């Protein structure tokens, strides 16, 4: 029984996104679709424990879930016309449960439609993320709440509100028309990247669930690339995620301390992820239509191809950050550019850039600005000034992992000169 | 499904006569387009928010207040009702509604109209 349960769970993980997408198309309701799918999985568990596994488990479950939908529709006598529509629409998909080959074409379209519906910009960002993970990722409400450090109640409410809006405001279940497609795709990519980053950020929370978030973001982006082939920014995003994920095990040491890129043990980086990430990045760039994700993937690729921090082509990195500043200016990008220039042309040059930034005052309360200054000053052996900047950074962040890193740097500087 | 599009503009930023004419022309074009597509149901501009009176029942008595119910930077200035296939179509039309003079702030709130089903309901 336990073995069967594990098998069913793994089928759920793999197939629930596809199955629910087709159920939503037919029922036009997230709630009905979810109910039907859960009922079908429960039925599978009880049927298979006595009658054994069918030849094609996922087709069995899909067919069972579609029958559940018809049952619900029958129960709802007042909505006769919808029932007719259901019968009509399920006729050709359910008639032969073994005919998976024929079904897969519809399934792919369904999943693509579902991605766009879940990431519709008329839903707020939190709702887009929760809905994507719940319906396409098959994560439970508890798991998602855990991952985002939110009370389960809050997350459940968010999902209810989002599904209600989709139905009541009639957010369509379609792949957007050509004129809005690029903009809508941007929204999809942003959601996928947010999910990845939530899992990747070393801030806090349950490590296993965070790993799961990254894996899920990669899996969904991979699906997007399969469903919409040859879109360079999609490929760039997948490449970027893989290249970052390859370093995941080396970013925090056994004591839970942040390990900078410079200090990471590169022999522990995941080679398979690097190979695939590099291949995707090159493929994307070869299409000659660069975008912010491709540029970031290119930066990650330079790091991935360097055996040590010292051997890194920092000029190339600085040039890529400059490119990124034009396409997607942000405080982090400016700081990373300054740091790369510091590595390529010497710390003084990096400081000149940071001084230019500080004139605007926009980064005055941003801890990473002071941390970046401190690192450059440390390289120049301007110890006293570096300590002051590390102290400023420390006073501006509550993130435990970052605080530990800053303290370590301060201790290193202090210990060297026997002060503090 | 019918969608109501509530237009909010900044009344404090007075438009020139020329700008007003441009806005009016924008609305005329939009209404004609929507009518040609058979989805136009209604549209009207409102007098300024200074003409608003808010009526509220409090402890069984009618309480009147001078002005709109909420003080906001942008005021309700008019509305459209269009019968669209789905939210995407509604949003596309909403994006074309001129909200204020060019370059000045304004926005459109898009809300589905709840259809009351029943024997007397004319619109289904």
Q: Decide if B71 touches A, using CB distance below 8 A.
A: no
> Cα distance from B86 to chain A (closest Cα, Å)?
5
DSSP 8-state assignment for residue B41? E
Find residue B62's DSSP bridge partners: B57
3-state secondary structure of A360: coil
Tell if the CB–CB gap between A169 and B87 is shorter than 8 Å.
yes
User: A164 and chain B: CB distance < 8 Å anywhere?
Assistant: no
Express each pLDDT in A257-268 by its tens digit.
Answer: 788 898 999 999
How much is the CA Rg of chain A, to the nearest whole Å?
Answer: 25
Q: Which residue carries 């993937």 as its tokens?
A: A297
Q: Which of A169, A174, A180 sits opposite B112 (nearest CB)?
A: A169
**Which residue in B5, B88, B108 has the most chain A C-beta atoms within 10 A of its own C-beta, making it the best mutation to test that interface?**
B88
B chain contacts of residue A120, beta-carbon cutoff 8 Å:
87
Distance from CA of B87 to the nearest CA of A (A): 5
Q: Please give the pLDDT value at position A420.
A: 44
Question: Which residue has tokens 């709440």?
Answer: A145
Give the ipTM of the model, two decimals please. 0.84
Label residue A254 by pLDDT band (50, 70, 90). confident
Would you call A180 an interface residue with chain B, using a CB distance cutoff of 8 Å? yes
Confidence band, pLDDT 50/70/90 cuts, at residue A78:
low
The SS3 call for residue A293 is helix
CA-CA distance, B119 to B107, in Å (whole number)? 36
Alpha-carbon distance of A217 to A193, in angstroms, equals 7
Interchain CB contact of B105 with A (< 8 Å): no
CB-CB neighbors (< 8 A) of B114 in chain A:
168
Query: A176 to chain B: nearest residue by CA?
Result: B88
Average pLDDT, chain B: 88
| CA closest to A121 among chain B residues | B88
Q: Is the pLDDT of residue A256 over 80?
A: no
Element (DSSP H or E) covering residue B66: strand B61-66
Q: Are residues A320 and A302 in contact, defined by beta-carbon separation less than 8 angstroms?
A: yes
Mean pLDDT of A221-225: 94
The confidence score (pLDDT) of residue B2 equals 97
Sign for the CA dihedral angle at B9, A169, A165, A176 comes to negative
Highest mean pLDDT, choosing among A324-328, A402-406, A413-417 = A324-328
Better pLDDT: A237 or A199: A237
In this structure, how many other beta carbons lie within 10 angstroms of the beta carbon of residue B28? 10
pLDDT digits (tens, 9 = 90+) for A8-45: 888 888 888 889 999 998 888 899 999 999 999 999 99
What is the pTM (predicted TM-score) of this model?
Answer: 0.83
Q: Which residue of B has its CA nearest to A168?
A: B112
Number of inter-chain CB pairs under 8 A, A vs B:
24
Q: How confident is the model at residue A104 (pLDDT cuts 50, 70, 90)?
A: low
Min Cα distance B110 → chain A (Å) is 9
B87–A contact, CB cutoff 8 A: yes
Contact list, B86 vs chain A (CB under 8 Å)? 170-172
Model confidence band, residue A210 (pLDDT cutoffs 50, 70, 90) = confident
Q: What percent of chain A has pLDDT over 90?
A: 60
First to last CA, chain B: 8
Q: Residue A52 is inside which H or E element, if any?
A: none
Cβ atoms of residues A128 and A120 within 8 Å: yes
Helix (H) or strand (E) holding A174, with range, is: none
Residue A280 has pLDDT above 50, yes or no: yes
Nearest CB among A120, A170, A174 relative to B112 is that of A170
A170/B91 CB distance under 8 A: no
A244: nearest Cα among A219, A278, A220: A278
Distance between start and end Cα atoms, chain A:
62
Separation CA A192–CA A96 (nearest Å): 35
Tell which CATH architecture fits domain B2-112: 2-Layer Sandwich (3.30)
Comparison of pLDDT for A243 and B14, the residue scoring more = A243
Q: Give A1's pLDDT tier (boundaries 50, 70, 90).
A: low
Q: Determine the Cα–Cα distance for residues A287 and A284; give it in Å rounded to an integer.
A: 6
- Under 8 Å between Cβ of A347 and A379: yes
User: What are B92-118's pLDDT values in tens digits?
Assistant: 999 999 886 445 678 999 999 998 876
Mean predicted confidence (pLDDT) in A270-275: 97
- The residue of A169, A172, A177, A179 whose CB has the most chain B CBs within 10 angstroms, and thus the best one to mutate to test that interface, is A169
Mean pLDDT of A316-335: 94
User: Does the pLDDT at position A64 exceed 50?
Assistant: yes
Give chain A's mean pLDDT: 87
Lowest mean pLDDT among A63-77, A155-169, B7-21, B51-65: B7-21
Digit-coded pLDDT (tens) for B40-78: 999 999 998 989 999 999 999 999 999 898 888 888 999
Q: How far is B50 from chain A (nearest CA, A)?
A: 32
Please tell me if residue B45 touches chain A, with a CB cutoff of 8 Å. no
Q: Which of B87, B110, B112 sits opposite A172 (nearest CB)?
A: B87
Lowest mean pLDDT among A81-90, A176-185, B15-24: A81-90
The CA angle A224-A336-A381, to the nearest 5 degrees, is 150
Q: Give the model's pLDDT for residue A97.
A: 42
- B109 in reach of chain A (CB within 8 A): no
- Residues in B touching A174 (Cβ below 8 Å): 88
Question: Distance (Å, rounded) from C-alpha B82 to C-alpha B88?
Answer: 13
Contact A145, A206 (CB under 8 A): no
Residue B6, beta-bridge partner list: B79, B109
Strand partners, B80: B5, B43
């Amino acid at each position: 029984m336990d073995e069967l349960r594990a098998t069913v769970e793994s089928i759920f993980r793999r197939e629930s996104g596809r199955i629910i997408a087709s159920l939503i198309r037919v029922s036009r309701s997230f709630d009905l679709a979810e109910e039907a799918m859960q009922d079908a999985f429960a039925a599978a568990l009880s049927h298979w424990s006595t009658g054994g596994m069918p030849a094609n488990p996922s087709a069995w479950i899909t067919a069972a879930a579609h029958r559940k939908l018809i049952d619900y529709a029958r129960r709802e006598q007042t909505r006769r016309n919808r029932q007719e529509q259901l019968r009509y629409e399920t006729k050709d998909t359910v008639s032969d449960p073994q005919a998976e080959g024929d079904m897969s074409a519809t399934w792919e379209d369904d999943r693509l439609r579902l991605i766009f519906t879940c990431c519709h910009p008329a839903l707020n960002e939190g709702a887009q993320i929760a809905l994507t993970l719940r319906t396409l990722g098959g994560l439970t409400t508890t798991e998602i709440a855990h991952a985002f450090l939110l009370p389960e109640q809050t997350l459940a409410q968010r999902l209810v509100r989002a599904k209600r809006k989709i139905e009541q405001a009639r957010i369509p279940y379609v792949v957007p028309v050509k004129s809005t497609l690029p903009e809508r795709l941007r929204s999809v990519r942003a959601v996928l990247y947010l999910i990845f980053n939530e899992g990747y950020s070393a801030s806090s929370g349950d490590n296993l669930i965070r790993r799961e978030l990254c894996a899920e973001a990669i899996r969904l982006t991979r699906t997007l690339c399969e469903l919409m082939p040859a879109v360079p920014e999609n490929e760039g995003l997948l490449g970027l995620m893989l290249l970052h994920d390859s370093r995941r095990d080396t970013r925090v040491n056994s004591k839970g301390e942040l390990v900078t890129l410079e200090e990471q043990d590169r022999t522990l980086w995941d080679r398979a992820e690097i190979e695939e990430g590099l291949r995707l990045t090159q493929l994307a760039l070869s299409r000659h239509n660069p975008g912010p994700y491709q540029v970031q993937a290119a930066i990650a690729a330079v790091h991935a191809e360097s055996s040590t921090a010292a051997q890194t082509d920092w000029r190339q990195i600085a040039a890529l950050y400059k490119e990124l500043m034009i396409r997607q200016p942000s405080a982090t990008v400016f700081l990373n550019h300054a740091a790369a220039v510091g590595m390529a042309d010497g710390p003084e040059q990096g400081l000149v850039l940071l001084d230019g930034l500080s004139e605007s005052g926009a980064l005055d309360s941003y801890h990473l600005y002071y941390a970046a200054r401190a690192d450059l000053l440390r390289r120049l052996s301007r110890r006293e000034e570096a300590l002051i900047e590390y102290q400023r950074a420390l006073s501006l962040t509550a993130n435990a992992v970052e605080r530990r890193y800053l303290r370590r740097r301060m201790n290193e500087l202090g210990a060297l000169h026997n002060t503090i | 499904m019918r969608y109501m599009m509530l237009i909010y503009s900044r009344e404090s930023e007075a438009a020139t006569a020329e700008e007003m004419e441009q806005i009016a022309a924008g609305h005329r074009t939009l209404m004609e387009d929507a009518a040609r597509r058979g989805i136009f149901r209604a549209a009207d501009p409102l007098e300024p928010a200074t003409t608003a009176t808010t009526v509220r029942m409090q402890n069984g008595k009618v309480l009147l207040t001078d002005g709109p119910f909420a003080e906001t930077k942008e005021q309700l200035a008019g509305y459209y009702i269009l019968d669209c296939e789905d939210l995407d179509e509604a949003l596309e039309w909403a994006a074309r509604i001129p909200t204020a003079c060019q370059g000045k702030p304004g926005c459109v709130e898009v809300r589905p109209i709840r259809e009351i089903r029943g024997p007397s309901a004319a619109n289904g």
